[in-house]
Amino acid sequence: MQIALIGIGKIANYQMQAITHTPGIKLVDAHDLDANKAEELPGSVNFHDNLEKMLNKSAADAFLVSTPTPSHFEVAMQVIESDRIAIVEKPICTSQSEMDALLTAARTRKLPLYTAFHPAYGREVDWWREQRDAQNFDLGALLGFDTCFADPYYIDGKLTLGAVGKAGAWSDSGISGLSALSRLIDPNSMELVDGRMTVIPSLACSQVQGLAVYSFVEQNNMAYGMVDTNWTLGKNYKTTRLRYENGLVNLDHAKEIATLSLSGQDPLVFNLATDKPRLVNHYCGVFSDLTEMFGKGEDNTELSEVLHRLLFAALHH
Ligand SMILES: NC(=O)c1ccc[n+]([C@@H]2O[C@H](COP(=O)([O-])OP(=O)(O)OC[C@H]3O[C@@H](n4cnc5c(N)ncnc54)[C@H](O)[C@@H]3O)[C@@H](O)[C@H]2O)c1
C-alpha cells in the first residue's frame, strides 16, 4: 500500500518512523501548507506545495490527513471529492453534522474511509485483551471503567504549545479514550448518561476539560464507566482502570504499564514498553491494521461512526 501525508507536524515524525517498521506500506508523497516542512521528509518522499496537484498526480492508494484537528473536515472532504481515499487522524472531524457529511460523501463515491485511532493500539491494551481472552486471571465480570486522558496543555492561565493543532481536551482526547475502550468493551452497547464540559471563552480551544459517563452492557448486565479528559492537571496522565468482581486492572497508556490487583493479593506489574517511543508503537498498530483492511477491501467507518457519535453526544448533553 502506498500512502501520501497531508500535514507534516509533530505527529508526522512518529507516523513516518512507524511506516518504516511496518511491512506492506510505503510513504511516497507529502504536502504541507508550510514548504519548509519538506526538510522533515526522507529523500524517497516527494514534497508537493499544492494539495490539489498532489491529489491529481500521486500514485498513492490513500491520503493520511494529519493537519490540525479543526481542518480535518475540510481537508478530508477535498480528498474524498477528488475521488481519492482518506485516512484521517482522530477525531475525524469536530461535529456530528460534519461526520454525517463525510460519511455521505465517501459512501456516495463507494470510497473506503479510515480513521487513525492510535491510542487503541497501546501495547498495554493489546496485552490485557490477550490475558482476558486466554482467561489467565480469574477476575470475574467487568463492573465498570474509569478512563482519564490528561495533557499539560493549560498552564498559568494560558494554552501551551502542545495545544497547537488540537481542537480541545474532550474533542481530541475523548475519542482517544473511547477508541482504547472499544477494544475492551463493545462500543455498540455504550450509551451516554452525562456529559460535562468546561469551556473558557477567552481560550482558543473548544474545551479545557471534558467528562462523560456512559452505560454499557456486560454479560447482560448494565454497567457504568466514565471518560475524563483534562488539560488543566499539568501532567501527561493517561490511564484506564477496569473494575472487575475480583479485582482491578490498571492500564497506564502513557507509560505502557499494566497493573493487575487481584483481591487480597499483591499487585502484579507488567512493563510493556519497548525501545521504540509509545507513539511509534501505536502507529505500527494503526498501519498494520490499515494495510490489512485495505487488502481485504474493508475500512473502519462503522466503528468510527459509533465512537464519534458517543464523542459528540457528550459535547451537547
Ligand atoms: N501531537 C500529538 O501528540 C498527536 C498525537 C496523535 C494524534 N495527533 C493528531 O494529529 C493531528 C496533527 O497534530 P500535530 O500535533 O502533528 O499538529 P502540528 O500543528 O504540529 O502540525 C500540523 C501540520 O499541518 C500543517 N497544516 C495546517 N493546515 C494545513 C492544511 N490545511 N493543509 C496542509 N497542511 C496543513 C501545518 O503547517 C503543520 O505542519 C491532529 O489532529 C492531532 O490531534 C497529534
Cβ–ligand 1 distance for 67 under 6 Å, the answer: yes
Q: Are residues 99 and 31 in the same domain?
A: yes
Q: pLDDT by residue (tens digit) across 90-138?
A: 999 999 999 999 999 999 999 999 999 999 999 999 999 999 999 999 9
User: How deeply is 161 buried, as exposed, middle or buried, from its count of CB atoms within 10 A (0-12, 13-18, 19+)?
Assistant: exposed
131 and 265 in a single domain? The answer is: yes
Q: Is 7 in the pocket of ligand 1 (CB under 6 A)?
A: yes
Q: Are residues 66 and 187 in the same domain?
A: no
**Any ligand 1 atom below 6 A from CB of 147:** no
Which of residues 116, 137, 152 is at a domain's end? 116
- The answer to the question of residue 185 being in a domain is yes
Whether residue 124 is found in the same domain as residue 196: yes
Residue 106 lies in a domain: yes
From 85, 100, 116, give the residue that closes a domain.
116
Q: Which atom of ligand 1 is nearest to the CA of 166?
A: 43
Q: Is the CB of 165 under 6 A from ligand 1?
A: yes
First to last CA, the chain: 41
* Whether the Cβ atoms of residue 53 and residue 69 lie closer than 8 Å to each other: no
Distance CA 31, CA 251 (A): 36
CATH number, domain with residue 186 = 3.30.360.10
Asked if residue 294 belongs to a domain, the reply is no
Rounded Cα distance between 219 and 206, Å, is: 37
Position 312 in a domain = no
Does 10 contact ligand 1 (Cβ within 6 A)? yes
CA 2 to chain centre: 22
Dihedral sign from CA coordinates of 264, 273, 8, 73: negative
Joined grid coordinates for residue 95: 461535529
- Determine if ligand 1 sits within 6 Å of the CB of residue 304: no
Mutation probe of ligand 1 site: the residue of 8, 11, 175 with most atoms within 8 A of C-beta:
11
Tell me what pLDDT residue 250 has.
98
Same domain, residue pair 249 and 262: yes
Q: Do 253 and 206 share a structural domain?
A: yes
Kind and range of the H or E run holding 130: helix 123-133
Which ligand 1 atom sits closest to the C-alpha of 12?
16
Indicate if 61 and 166 belong to the same structural domain. Answer: no
Cα 210 from Cα 306, distance rounded (Å): 19
Half-sphere exposure at residue 11, Cβ-oriented, CA atoms within 13 angstroms: 25
Q: Is 9 touching ligand 1 by the criterion CB < 6 Å? A: yes
In a domain, 29, yes or no: yes
Looking at the DSSP bridge assignments, the partners of residue 268 are 260
Those residues whose C-beta lies under 8 Å from the C-beta of residue 188, and which sit 6 or more positions away, are 306
Cα of 66 to ligand 1 centre, how many Å? 5
Q: Are residues 95 and 236 in the same domain?
A: no
Output the furthest CA–CA distance in the chain (Å, rounded). 63
The answer to whether position 302 is within a domain reads no
Residue with CA closest to ligand 1 atom 41: 69
Closest CA to ligand 1's atom 6: 11
Indicate which CATH number applies to the domain containing 58: 3.40.50.720
In sequence order, which ranges of 134-272 are alpha helices (DSSP H)?
A: 169, 175-181
Residue 172 lies in a domain: yes
Q: Hey, whose CA ends up nearest to atom 3 of ligand 1?
A: 11
The answer to whether residues 14 and 52 belong to one domain is yes
Does residue 128 fall inside a structural domain?
A: yes
Nearest to 145 by CA among 215, 76, 228, 240: 240
Shared-domain flag, residues 132 and 257 = yes
Q: What is the pLDDT of residue 317?
A: 85
Nearest CA to ligand 1 atom 21: 9
Q: Is 107 found in the same domain as 184?
A: no
Dist CA 40 CA 2 (whole Å): 19
71-102 pLDDT per residue, tens: 999 999 999 999 999 999 999 999 999 999 99
The tens-digit pLDDT sequence of the chain (317 residues) is 999 999 999 999 999 999 999 999 999 999 999 999 999 999 999 999 999 999 999 999 999 999 999 999 999 999 999 999 999 999 999 999 999 999 999 999 999 999 999 999 999 999 999 999 999 999 999 999 999 999 999 999 999 999 999 999 999 999 999 999 999 999 999 999 999 999 999 999 999 999 999 999 998 999 999 999 999 999 999 999 999 999 999 999 999 999 999 989 999 999 999 999 999 999 999 999 999 999 999 999 999 999 999 999 999 88
Q: What distance in angstroms lies between residue 68's CA and the mean position of ligand 1's atoms?
A: 4
The pLDDT of residue 265 is: 94
| Residue 116 bridge partners (DSSP) | 89
Residue at a domain's end among 116, 149, 165: 116
Number of separate domains in the chain: 2
Q: pTM for the full model? A: 0.97
Q: In this predicted model, what pLDDT tens digit does every residue of 1-25 receive, in sequence order?
A: 999 999 999 999 999 999 999 999 9
CB 230 within 8 A of CB 133: no
Residue 33: CB within 6 Å of ligand 1? yes
Domain that residue 133 falls in: 120-273
Alpha carbon 220 to chain centroid, angstroms: 28
CA 69 – CA 50 distance, rounded (Å): 20
Instruction: Answer whether 38 contacts ligand 1 (Cβ < 6 A).
Output: no
pLDDT for 316: 86
